[in-house]
Structure 1
Amino acid sequence: MTDDAPELRASDADRERVAEVLRDALAEGRLDMEEFEERLDATYKARTYGELAPITRDLPVGAVAVPKVDMVKKAELSDGSWAGRIVGGEGSSTWGVAVMSGFQRKGRWTAPKRFTGVAFMGGGEIDLREANFADREIVINCIAIMGGVEVIVPPGVEVVVRGVGIMGGFDEREESVPGDPGAPRVIVTGLAVWGGVEVRRKPTRAQRQALREERRRERLERREQRRELRASVRDEQHEAHREMLEDHRDMWRHAHDPHRKRARARDDD
């Protein structure tokens, strides 16, 4: 990794590339388990390229290139904090319509101040987990007629549901969950007739990756503990076997001691 712009924010992809280098180093025996865990923890805590640089400096293929400042998009510089995801502007999409079909808004996009989704005998998905926000408060207006709209929000976002259901309904389970400081507020409103609008809270891709990494770390720890236990049992078995051999040697020496043989012979005479 170069030091041209160490203060630049590192992305989730940068951290994952460093984590992959560490996994390879662990598999090749360049790092022991304790070093791997320490460096992996530092990787996921790193916010800038300057903090990532020392982690793989002594490992092969450990460079993570720092992009040129004039080519870095604002979304790529975001460290995942809410301040970095409230970008202003008009939004990259303001409506979606599904008539006996479906529509999706997901991935890296900018949710506008007001988005309208219409599903007539069809379905729509509005996924905000990887999205940026045009404002700190956005409104998602859903019209579901004999169809459904699913709104997916990341953890930490405050959700307010104000929709009206006629022989249909709006899911309000996520409404009572408090938001993180500085997180955007998502207001879900509209009308559901013989249909439904569902609000679901799901982890982001980075959070899922961190959870998988944590589970992998736990599996490695359990595997190491089992290996140590087996080694301890083998050591105990070896020690018991060694003591048994020593006992047999002592018995043989005692039985074949020439002084004891001569003494027994005199006693017999």
Structure 2
Amino acid sequence: MSTFPTRKPSDQDREQLQADLTRLVGAGRLQFDEFDQLMDVVWSTQDKSVLERIRSQYLTYQGPQTPNYSSPQPPQPPAQYPPAGFQQPVPMAQPGAQHHAVPIAGQPVSSTMGTVRRTGNWLVPAHSTFKISGSALHLDLRQANAASPECVFDITANMSTVEIIVPPGVYVENRMKDFMSSVDVQTTQPAPGAPRVILTGSSRGSSVRVITRQAPDTRSLWDRFFGV
């Protein structure tokens, strides 16, 4: 019996799917906790067909009179998002943007001897919790959308590496407690209307690094995915 070799997805495949799913979150059609679980799958799978199944299930239009019986998920109840007071999130790197508080908190993420990666177009909630041990945490905010004027990352890092990349104008305030760790925070003066990133938690025997870099083609991606 012959078998077909597994197709490994590229970073571009993962980033494209992440950007498309982020658009669903911004439109209130996908809850953040489910989005976060999907991102764990998107960035950990080595099988491109897994990405294709996610795209088919979440991004393929199903007519209102044609239930998708092939989907393993039951029909979803009427969406309760966006919540009251929700405002469309805006890019972290957009100068002078007006940010509005959104009651969204990320599901706690844990990793042991693994990698947690967030990059491209993704929604940064008001509060995120990461617990990593012997792992690498990579958060790239340059093309991300901020859900709140203040985005808190509560990080517990043990023998791990933490790298956070922010665009110029996004101020990073470090409140983490460090024990036998190296901490390097490169931040800039806050731009008018730009969100603020606050780091809380603790690091033990870890490396914490915050880098400020210019966002690559942020405007074109915003135009492409959100039509402005």
Structure 2 length normalisation: TM-score?
A: 0.51
The residue type equivalent to 2:210 in the other structure is: V
| Aligned residue number for residue 182 of structure 1 | 193
Whole-Å separation in 1 of the counterparts to 2:94 and 2:163: 23
Aligned mates of 1:198, 1:98 — CA distance in 2: 18
CA shift at 1:198, angstroms? 1.1
Picking from 152, 156, 166, the partner of 2:165 is 152
Checking the alignment, whether the CA contact within 8 Å between 1:96 and 1:104 is kept in structure 2 is no
Is the aligned partner of 1:166 residue 2:200? no
Residue aligning to 1:118: 131
CA distance in 2, matches of 1:171, 1:138: 19
* 4+ runs deviating over 6 angstroms: 75-79
The residue that corresponds to 2:49 in the other structure is: none
Q: CA deviation at 1:95?
A: 3.4
Aligned to 1:199: 210
Structure showing the higher strand proportion among its residues: 2
Asked if structure 2 preserves the Cα contact closer than 8 Å seen for 1:165 and 1:196, the reply is no
- Alignment of structure 1 residues 64-79 onto 2, 5 Å: none
Residue 89 (str. 1) matches residue 105 (str. 2): no
SS at match of 1:83: coil
What one-letter code is carried by the residue in structure 1 that aligns with 2:203? A
Alignment partners' CA distance in 2, 1:77 and 1:138 = 13
Q: Is the 8 A contact 1:109 1:132 kept in 2?
A: yes
Asked if the contact 1:91–1:133 (Cα under 8 Å) also holds between the matched residues in 2, the reply is no
What are structure 1's unaligned runs of at least 5 residues?
1-73, 210-269
Offset of 1:146 from its aligned partner?
Answer: 0.7
**TM-score by structure 1 length?**
0.44
Segments of 5+ residues of structure 2 without an aligned counterpart are: 1-87, 221-228
TM superposition shift of 1:102: 0.6
Distance 1:108 1:158, change over 3 A: same
Higher RCO, 1 or 2 (CA under 8 Å, sep at least 6)? 2
Shift of 1:180: 0.7
Quote how far apart the aligned CAs of 1:135 are.
1.1
Compare the two structures and name the one with the higher helix fraction: 1
Once the two structures are superposed, what CA deviation does each residue of 1:226-252 show, in whole Å capped at 9, x if it has no partner? xxxxxxxxxxxxxxxxxxxxxxxxxxx
> What is the rounded CA distance, in whole Å, between the counterparts of 1:134 and 1:205 in structure 2?
20
1:8-52 per-position Cα deviation (integer Å, ceiling 9, x unaligned)? xxxxxxxxxxxxxxxxxxxxxxxxxxxxxxxxxxxxxxxxxxxxx
CA distance in 2, matches of 1:193, 1:88: 32
The answer to whether the Cα contact below 8 Å between 1:112 and 1:133 also exists between their aligned partners in 2 is yes
The answer for the alignment partner of 2:156 in structure 1 is: 143
Measured after TM superposition, the shift of residue 79 of structure 1 is: 10
Identity %: 31
1:94–1:112 Cα contact (<8 Å) kept: no
In structure 2, the residue matched to 1:131 is 144
- The change in CA–CA distance for 1:208 and 1:88 in structure 2 (over 3 A counts) is closer
**Cα–Cα, structure 1 residues 77 and 156, in superposed 2: closer, same or farther, change >3 Å?**
closer
Do the aligned partners of residues 79 and 116 (structure 1) sit closer, same or farther apart at CA in structure 2, a change above 3 Å counting? Answer: closer
Judged with a 3 Å threshold, the aligned counterparts in structure 2 of structure 1 residues 191 and 114 are, in CA distance, closer, same or farther, namely same
